[in-house]
Structure 1
Amino acid sequence: MTILTRLPEDYHENTLAIRSSLQSVRFYVDGELRMEYDTSGTRLVGKNSASCYVFCPTSEDDAGKEVRIELTTNTAKYSGVVNTVYCGDEAAIWGYLFQTYGLETVIALFLLFAGIITIIFGFSLGIAYQTKFDMEYLGWCVFMAAIWMLGESKMRQLFFPNPSALATLCFVMIMLSPIAIGYYMDTLQKGRYRKVFGVVESIAFLNALICSALHILGIADYIETLPVAHVILAGSVLIGFITMVCDLKRGYVSEKYTFSVLYWQ
């Protein structure tokens, strides 16, 4: 995909920017390559460069010059995708982006902190009482959700220098989340539905292995196999909800769920 335009004669901005969507980006100003974003030489696996905001420096001297932006991807779904092109001061652009998308990043960082604290607290209680607490697995669920949100955040490159690694980790968290949910629900319900959650966990683990192999071998990126992970994740949440309803009907809720309710309150 190529975007071709000409800067106005009264141009005086110092930055052009665009967000790639699993695309490599090249900025040409007056036929000269000014900025390039391509992780093919640095990423270990995968067919595409991770989504990222790419900033091209400009100046008043570029007024009236032709600008060409080339977007290249190896995934058909993102071929021809063109995001908003920003023009202005880089700091001002980041300020606008944070004002628009910053809330989800702040929430993700809060969940990350809460998840880590919950894991540490649950693990400490487990050592003290020589048993496993559902709080620890709940912490892992929150932690994975936070990593997923950070991986999807449009502000992620401000916090993590390697967007490819975080983007990959985001997909891994989605695939492994059913395992954390299964362990949490199984501990919370004291193994009453262990066989059911065991099947879900095995399917999720097998899917993660297969998708990782396809990703590493360059056959299919995580984004292409993601629908399967979504189905498994949705299935694990649905099964968790069904088992909670079953416990409610059998009168187990007051016995097993009180601690978790008090914790969230």
Structure 2
Amino acid sequence: MKIHTDKFGRSMFYILLVVELLFLLLVINSKYQSVSFHNESLIKLNNNWTYKDNEGNTHTITIPSKLDVSKTKAMLISNQLPKDLPTGSILGTLSSHQSIHVYVDNELIYTCDAKDSGFIDLSPGSMWNLIHLPDHAAGKEISLDISTEKSGSIETFSDVYIGTKAALLIHIIQTRGFSLLISFIILFIGINLVLAYFSLRSFLTAHKSILYLGSFSLIVSIWMIMESDMAQFFVDNRYLISSIKYLCLNTLPIPLLLYLSVLVQYRYRKLMLRFSYIFITNAFVMLGLQLSNIANLHEGLIVLHVLIFIIFSIVCYTLCIDVFKYKNKKLYYLTLSFGFLFLFTVFELLFYYFELRTNTGTFMQLGMLVFLLILSRSGLLKTVEIIRLSENASFYKHMANWDYMTKCKNRTAYTREINGISLNHRIAIIMADVNNMKFINDTYGHLSGDEAIILCGQCLLEVFQDQNKCYRIGGDEFLIILIDEDKEEVEFKLEQFNQECKKASEAYPFDIDISIGYAFYDKDIDETIYDTIKRADKNMYDLKAGLKNMSSNNT
């Protein structure tokens, strides 16, 4: 049985990758001795926190926890610091759209106010608060005063950690580093797609799908970096981080829909464009509300999420109809990848609104990574195919304009280009015709006749050098166009041409004898360049007739 080696090898490679991935998952879930840099101690101070309700009653809670608060009254929770607290310890906790004030025995040691954004009421977003504890803080009471500007909200109290700054940073990297890694992978994909588009624009004039996909990847990666809770280690403005995050989130559906509008059937193209206009309008409206301090970008998330769910549902349904009902196999990978993206987006929205976990964005990030990996592979394969077809088209275009036998341009090129010659220059037209072709064909055979034509073309190219000037316009007829050359230069080159023909004849049993006539364009007697060609042709045939008469007289 014949084995198709390419397909077999590719299948075995994919199987190997799956087996290796399963092996790594097995290793991750097995018991092992840690060899990471996270050897410094990190304490979770999550138990035995207390707070007082509006009636003055004391309650004990374990964090992370959610409590009802009002706009006018912040929630104050308290606990006791360990008695063996090392000197130079750091307390770390994550706040999200919150103001936080930290006290040790009623002494304020840290403050981060969500209202410090300036004249625009910006959302503070999420950030890690790394608080230096005083040397005398061991065993004392610590209080976290956490508030929000949102009336009647349910306030979230995140994990509280105590340890060295290095231990806290390593913990943050370990918990959110995977998200940051995915962000940089998508950023790498986006940069390469955009560079590929600008590098290959000459091959991609028909559509801009790679540019739209690359733009989508770049916006997604920036959003994910801002969402990773690690951007503050690179940018120290929490309001800038939050604004970039929500602007990207409002913008990222737009290049995705533009990408789809390029690839889907014509009957769905307007639908995709209209969907993109909806998201553009929503982004402008949210910016207007933010600039006028009516609502911040964070408060518009519910509208954005509803739009994403409804429009993505319609898009997913449309793609499935096109693939399964109309059997459009070209959209198979697009439908598969968009299906993954839509599924993970739905999971993300469910977890976000039902508050099933604290870290948001993970499902959507994974969905976008799978989406981009599938489409990048498909897009790159399509690009390679386009380049291959373009190279074939260039080859056939070349063949359509060049004479394969003589390497001169052919009559098709001559017919197209002769009308484009500017008559403001000094134009000379040379006509050349191989003599005695019937004698050569009858005496030495038609192959020798072809050799005579080839040698004539080679001699013309040798003397006139530029292939763009030389045309084979008939069986044994050639035309040469010279620009801005005077009569002496033309006659000098024609003499060179005759000498080249004599040299070439030495290797053959027949003489390569060429009749030549030329004429310069004269606006006083030539209405068009074709009149010049006729005069050059007449001069050539006059010379040819003279040679025949001379041969007859000698006979």
Q: TM-score range by the shorter chain?
A: 0.7 to 0.9
Q: Percent identity among equivalent residues?
A: 28
Tell me: higher relative CO, structure 1 or 2? Use CA pairs within 8 A at least 6 residues apart: 1
Partner of 2:79: 5
Contact 1:179/1:204 (8 A) holds in 2: yes
Please report how far the alpha carbon of residue 35 of structure 1 lies from its aligned counterpart in structure 2 after TM superposition.
1.6
SS at match of 1:9: coil
Q: Deviations over 1:187-218 (max 9, x none)?
A: 11264422211221121111112222222222
Please say if residues 193 and 210 of structure 2, whose CA atoms lie closer than 8 Å, have aligned partners that are also in contact. yes
Q: CA deviation at 1:55?
A: 1.1
Q: How many residues align?
A: 265
Gaps (5+ residues) in structure 1?
Answer: none
Alpha-carbon distance change, 129 to 30 in structure 1, aligned in 2, over 3 angstroms: same
Q: What's the counterpart of residue 379 of structure 2?
A: 263
Cα pair 2:194 2:215 within 8 Å, conserved: yes
Match of 1:204 among 279, 283, 288: 279
Distance, in Å, in 2 between the alignment partners of 1:130 and 1:209 is: 30
Alignment of 1:151-166 (within 5 A): 151-166=226-241
Counterparts in 2 of 1:72-221, with a 5 A limit?
72-76=147-151, 79-126=154-201, 129-189=204-264, 191-221=266-296
SS of equivalent residue, structure 2 residue 125:
coil
SS, match of residue 84 in structure 2 = coil
In the alignment, is the contact (CA less than 8 A) between 2:80 and 2:142 conserved in 1?
yes
Alignment of 1:22 with 2:97, yes or no, is yes
Residue deviations 1:217-251 (CA, integer Å, cap 9, x gap):
22222222211111222333333323323432334
* Cα displacement (A) at 1:260: 6.2
**How far did 1:182 drift?**
1.4
Which whole-Å CA distance do the structure 2 matches of 1:16 and 1:260 have between them? Answer: 43
Q: What pairs with 1:207-246 in structure 2 (closer than 5 Å)? A: 207-246=282-321
User: Which residue type is aligned with residue 50 of structure 1?
Assistant: G
For structure 2, the 5+ residue unaligned runs are: 1-74, 335-374, 382-555
Q: Tell me how far 1:172 sits from its aligned partner.
A: 1.8
| Shift, 1:82, TM fit | 0.6
Aligned equivalents of 1:2, 1:99: Cα separation in 2: 30
Q: 1:20 aligns to what SS in structure 2?
A: strand
What one-letter code is carried by the residue in structure 1 that aligns with 2:156? V
- Structure of greater Rg: 2
Relative to structure 1, the CA distance from residue 138 to residue 155 in structure 2 (aligned partners, 3 Å threshold; closer, same or farther) is same
Cα RMSD, aligned residues only: 2.7
1:52 alignment partner, SS class = strand
Give the C-alpha shift of residue 89 in structure 1.
0.7
- For structure 1, which segment, 145-154 or 36-45, has the greater mean C-alpha deviation from structure 2 after superposition? 36-45
Provide TM-score, normalisation by structure 1. Answer: 0.87
Q: How much has 1:185 moved relative to structure 2?
A: 0.5
Aligned to 1:253: 329
